[in-house]
Structure 1
């Protein structure tokens, strides 16, 4: 049985989620107060409705309380975001994900019952910043305020050395989750794995330790 998702707010973030979920074959209810935005998604999602997320009766009539997952993607109106989240929590929605504008907004959302809070603009900014600073960083995913996963391109400093030679876990406290070489990926690589120039190392660990690894073994220009 397909999971049912409701997305409240059809800005760039909410619209992107609607498209992605629909492409994955999920049932999606798209909600926004802007009729033009709703019309734009009417052929993309299962249902698109003009409604106010802060209107408890409107959400109730749409049966939002019965959806598996509701995403609150309301843009700059923090008050509307908070009120909508509160209504969904009172409905007993099983999973509520909310877009936050700032850290204060996130704290409030967590207190009133949001199950997951995301910062799409902040997170994208962090990823771009890491990519700009180091030519070796392909991608950066922050798992928490202290831990992350990073894709690093192997350069001259580590090429033709094995993982045993590099001793990365003992020296820097991070783990190599996988090594990608072209279309091939080696998950949990053996210590005798030799790193070639251009290989992509998928590293997980504390952000401070990953930074030490980057500074020691990867070029920053």
Structure 2
């Protein structure tokens, strides 16, 4: 069964995370206090609600406790961000990713137990969505609206196999441009006969569509 996500706050960052999660095929619920934002996303997100995320009773009534991963993308209200994150942790949500708008905000979120803290000036919504949905994706960088560079931890099924045998380009359309070894060494422009080792990180370039297919393929 696929993970279920709740996105709280549908501003620029939260909206991008929500859209990307949906494009990756995940079930998404979303909450925002602003009815206009809720209406804007009603055609994209099936379960989107106008609600106060600092009201634990409301969150329980909406079934938020059934979600696997919560993304708190509230940027304009520090108190609401912190309180919402705390409530979600108390409700037993497996993972809480929270947006921090300052170093102080980040430290407080760490103290209350947020599992992953992001700062949008460094982390784009698309990048975060890929990182939180894949156990293998180490980093994700948009090169253009259609193409990206991604760093993926090689799955066990690839160990001791050559790039030729794995044939990533033929299967998924992505190009492996480098291999990062566990000892921090790097093979740039690897050859077809180079074998994947445990702990290797594959640095790949491809269309966003092909990268998504690859991420889904190695997760199956």
TM-score of Structure 1 vs Structure 2, range by shorter chain: 0.5 to 0.7
Q: Which runs of 5+ in 2 are unaligned?
A: 125-147, 152-180, 196-201, 204-220
Task: Find runs of 4+ consecutive structure 1 residues off by over 3 angstroms.
Answer: 138-141, 185-190
Partner of 2:92: 92
Partner of 2:27: 27
**Is the Cα contact below 8 Å between 1:177 and 1:189 reproduced in 2?**
no
Alignment coverage as a number of residue pairs: 147
Partner of 1:17: 17
Partner of 1:175: 185
**Is the Cα contact below 8 Å between 1:100 and 1:118 reproduced in 2?**
yes
1:37, 1:31 → 2: CA distance? 9
Partner of 1:43: 43
- CA-atom RMSD, angstroms? 3.1
Deviation of the 1:76 alpha carbon: 2.1
Deviation of the 1:122 alpha carbon: 3.5
Partner of 2:82: 82
Deviation of the 1:46 alpha carbon: 2.6
2:191, 2:31 → 1: CA distance? 42
SS where residue 122 of structure 1 aligns? coil
* Equivalent residue runs for 1:106-145 within 5 Å: 106-123=106-123
2:8, 2:91 → 1: CA distance? 15
Distance 1:186 1:88, change over 3 A: farther
Q: TM-score, normalising length from structure 2?
A: 0.59
Deviation of the 1:70 alpha carbon: 0.5
SS where residue 110 of structure 1 aligns? helix
1:119, 1:81 → 2: CA distance? 13
Deviations 1:2-59 (A, max 9, x none): 2210000000110001101111111100100011101111111231100011111111
1:18, 1:121 → 2: CA distance? 18
Deviation of the 1:114 alpha carbon: 0.5
**Is the Cα contact below 8 Å between 1:4 and 1:28 reproduced in 2?**
yes
Distance 1:123 1:25, change over 3 A: closer
Q: Which runs of 5+ in 1 are unaligned?
A: 125-137, 142-168, 180-184, 191-200, 203-221
Deviation of the 1:105 alpha carbon: 0.9
Q: TM-score, normalising length from structure 1?
A: 0.59
Deviation of the 1:140 alpha carbon: 10
Deviation of the 1:68 alpha carbon: 0.5
**Is the Cα contact below 8 Å between 1:33 and 1:52 reproduced in 2?**
yes
